[in-house]
Structure 1
């Protein structure tokens, strides 16, 4: 007896609509999940979960679906909306602002900023959370990788990242993963669209030492600040609080090593 397909709820979210569209077009084409998987390069199990909106959509799937069904960018456009839904509501406004930012300035005290992480480094970080199932880890990895699309927009935002020296010294994922992560930073150290600086240990204490802080410059020229701890984040939009974070960040720019000196520190950490 044929298995009855589970009812979908396309009106629940963009991710649910995405899954329903995959099933609708697959049905119209007379394709099984196995057959679709052979075309787009994903397993039957993965595609089934995507149709039911149980996992985050992989970043490369949408183009493959549009090519398969000749849908002219339909799935790419849906994915641009759906990828933001993986983030909890308290982060969603920040994600929406980040996606349109013209400038991103970040200080990271403990780990490589999410916008600069390799997939292997992100997997090593996210896998150490004991409460997360393997599927949840993969979903979070996909979400983190999808955030990096902002660095490939036109016009491309200017990225300025200041990292504590401890970021270079903590071997997340082991020597090979860390080596590859540091190597991925080198092309971005000093370009027309990006600057990376390392704040050395010998600087000591400073106003932003506690965690992560990000300043976004929006298309209208206004600025917002976002600070993040282990399990919480706060978006600051008031001029006074944003100015306070901006002054602290400007101080770190002065205290940190220059991009050229930072490149030398990164290469030394790679050798070690």
Structure 2
């Protein structure tokens, strides 16, 4: 009779299993959280929370860990399982998230809502709730989305980011006035970072080439550029150079009509001044 194989003591709960694996890989290599933080460029407090199971982090930090440890897609796979639905990330979007984490430069046009990289927790929660998420699923999706903000917060190598934002986005507040004020304050804070440029496209410029489509351009390590277009119903990763160039021409034409950086900052400040104040109790 063959000898029985010992059953591992590792958890069968996806979220706990993910945190155990993140912790195990670091300890096996004799690294402190500070050492790991320096190696992958992500904050040690975030890495500690991931090991403790209090947060899953975002796909970018998980991929950075996989690359550092040489574990292929192991942690990214466990991360997806931990989110509760391994099929929720369609293949195109999953590939887009990987490319976003590797990009050397990003630029985005926002037609109706702020890009995920600029959203506060409350903004992400309201947008995702409108998409039908509820309860624990909503919490997990919010956690995954706001984790993407870390891409612009990396210590030394955050990629340059340009956000072109339609005025309509800034005139569409959240339901809670305090949450909306916080979102505008956060947008101003991000706009003041060294590698971030935010421009507002006034409604007075009229119709434009990307009238109904949000788009993110990603400059990759090999010098090529891809685009991810998105509307309320679907997203598409575009890698054909001719199609990407056509989108870029439309983006450049819109950027030429946008307010400059100083004017855009003043516009956001004006929106903040006009936002309702929360009465003190």
Q: Does 1:138 align with 2:139?
A: yes
2:18 corresponds to which residue? 18
For residues 52 and 80 of structure 2, the distance between their equivalents in structure 1, rounded to whole angstroms, comes to 23
For residues 220 and 202 of structure 2, the distance between their equivalents in structure 1, rounded to whole angstroms, comes to 30
2:162 corresponds to which residue? 160
In the alignment, structure 1 segments of 5+ residues that lack a partner are 25-58, 69-73
Deviation at 1:192, TM superposition (A): 3.0
Relative to the length of structure 2, the TM-score reads 0.70
Distance 1:133 1:189, change over 3 A: closer
For residues 212 and 228 of structure 2, the distance between their equivalents in structure 1, rounded to whole angstroms, comes to 13
> Which of 222, 225, 230 in structure 1 is aligned with 2:224?
222
Relative to the length of structure 1, the TM-score reads 0.72
- Count of matched residue pairs: 224
1:189 corresponds to which residue? 191
For residues 190 and 23 of structure 2, the distance between their equivalents in structure 1, rounded to whole angstroms, comes to 40
Task: State the superposition RMSD in angstroms.
Answer: 3.2
What are the Cα deviations for residues 58-78 of structure 1, in whole angstroms up to 9, with x where unaligned? Answer: x9775146479xxxxx9x937
> Which of 77, 101, 106 in structure 1 is aligned with 2:65?
77
2:48 corresponds to which residue? 63
What are the Cα deviations for residues 13-71 of structure 1, in whole angstroms up to 9, with x where unaligned? Answer: xx6851665999xxxxxxxxxxxxxxxxxxxxxxxxxxxxxxxxxx9775146479xxx
In the alignment, structure 2 segments of 5+ residues that lack a partner are 1-8, 25-43, 54-61, 67-73, 84-88, 275-281
Any conservation in 1 of the 2:238–2:244 contact (CA below 8 Å)? yes
Secondary structure of residue in 2 paired with 1:234: strand
